[in-house]
Amino acid sequence: MANDPAVVDEVVAAARAESAEVARLPPAENRRHVEVMLAAGLAAFVRPGQPGDPERGPERGPERGPELGPDSGPEIHPQVRPDVDPDFEAAALLGADRAAQGVPITALLRGVQAGRSRAVQIAMERARGAGVPAELMLEVLLESDRYTGALEIHVITGYHDAELELARTARDARTQVLRRLLLDDARTLTADELAETGLQPHGQYHCVVSDVTDPLRARAMERQLATNPGLFGLVDGKLTGIAGRLPASGPPDAQALVVVAPQAPLDRIRPLYALCLNALGAAEELGLRGLHHVTDLAGQSALSTQPAMADLLSRTLLGALDPADSFHRQLAATVLAYLDHGQRFDRTATALHVHPNTIRYRLTRFEETVGTSLEAVTVESRAAVMDTLHWWWALRTWLGPP
């Protein structure tokens, strides 16, 4: 189960559906912990004699039940008590990471319990399908319930230990100020609280949001992005901050995506944070990396908030295209590139590494297939701008993420 992406996806989906705070974290961050905890938890219940099992003791007392013979099969057996150390270590780490990311403990436990319940459901369904006796399933379920109860205790312990550690540091105080600036009302912060972080009440600051969620990666990148004055930390699970000035070059992490807003006073940072978050999601859909200004992503951000309209427009304009037809996909990609390169045959041909006549041929075939001319997008008028937008949006939606 731990190596089955479908199982991991279902457990992640259950946790995200039950807890809005957990759902605000990137799915990859949820998967990271689910995969580790599933693998550790399932390994604890592997029957002796299987590869990787702990060695069996020389004797079993009568209270442990009959000895399992070599031909007993691969079933999980309730008489095997879990070796819980790896699982509890993973659980404590989950609690610590979520505390550092600002996820409330109640929201974390809702997600953990929902994910656990879904994992148990899947395990029981598979056991029934494999013909495991009901009595054996019940015993294993009772044993696993005791085990998962202990696991939750370690999640809570890891969370509170991390909370205490964070509370003892000035870093946590700075992060709390940052979260209040971005999620609450900046006017509730006193001049003394701002002064302790080095921020100026009447200063101008850029809002910076990244897709970095791993705490270790975040700290390394923060050292490069933070300026004086500036304030960075994990907000909603992502490295986020405000900076008096931007770095001269892009982010030091080549795989990171960073969105920045123009400078603004502190009382206007909160709405800019919401815009940056939306732009970050749009940039992720486009597969972008590096540093991008939120205004450069304005169009994609606005369109990304209307998925139902995008689907309707795509079906209306491109209903004659078959997503499973590779030639149709080539035609759509060519038209999209044509629009992206200012309706210039030469630039589009260069970008696609083909002859300009090939671009002309593909556009003609596209028009024949969809039954509509693209001539309107080449006319210099307000209507042409809107027509171009409609075609671009429909094509981007139909083709899906790059």
Q: Give the pLDDT confidence score for residue 47 in this predicted structure.
A: 45
* Euclidean distance between CA atoms 97 and 108, whole angstroms: 11
* Euclidean distance between CA atoms 135 and 11, whole angstroms: 26
Q: Give the pLDDT confidence score for residue 276 in this predicted structure.
A: 96
Identity of residue 239: L
The DSSP secondary structure of 197-229, one letter per residue, reads: HT--TT-EEEEEEES---HHHHHHHHHHH--SS
Q: What residues contact 26, with CB distance under 8 A and at least 6 apart?
A: 211, 213, 237, 238
Q: Give the pLDDT confidence score for residue 42 in this predicted structure.
A: 66
- Any bridge partners for residue 207, and if so which? 242
For 258, the enclosing helix (H) or strand (E) is strand 257-260
Let me know how long the chain is: 402
Q: Give the pLDDT confidence score for residue 295 in this predicted structure.
A: 94
CA 97 to chain centre: 15
Give whole-number Cα distances, 4 to 10, 39, 122, 331, in Å: 10, 10, 12, 36
**Residue 145 DSSP label:** H
Q: Give the pLDDT confidence score for residue 265 in this predicted structure.
A: 92
Q: Give the pLDDT confidence score for residue 280 in this predicted structure.
A: 95
- Any bridge partners for residue 264, and if so which? 205
Q: What domains are there in the chain, each with its CATH number?
A: 5-51+76-167 (1.10.490), 173-301 (no CATH), 307-399 (1.10.10.2840)
Q: What angle do CA 40, 44, 49 make, to 5 degrees?
A: 125
Give whole-number Cα distances, 104 to 108, 120, 183, 314, 348, in Å: 6, 25, 14, 40, 50
Give whole-number Cα distances, 152 to 13, 30, 34, 38, 146, in Å: 19, 16, 14, 14, 10
Q: Give the pLDDT confidence score for residue 29 in this predicted structure.
A: 85
Write out the two tokens for 77: 């057996």
Which regions in the chain score pLDDT beneath 70? 1-3, 40-87, 170, 227-228, 249-252, 378-383, 402
The DSSP secondary structure of 67-105, one letter per residue, reads: PPPTTS-S---TTSPP--HHHHHHHHHHHHHHHHTT--H
Q: What is the Cα gyration radius of the chain?
A: 27
Q: Give the pLDDT confidence score for residue 69 in this predicted structure.
A: 37
* Euclidean distance between CA atoms 280 and 272, whole angstroms: 12
The DSSP secondary structure of 259-309, one letter per residue, reads: EE---EEGGGHHHHHHHHHHHHHHHHHTT--EEEEGGGGHHHHHHHT-HHH
Q: Is the pTM of this model over 0.95?
A: no
**Residue 243 DSSP label:** E
Q: Give the pLDDT confidence score for residue 384 in this predicted structure.
A: 79
Q: Are 241 and 233 in contact (CB under 8 A)?
A: yes
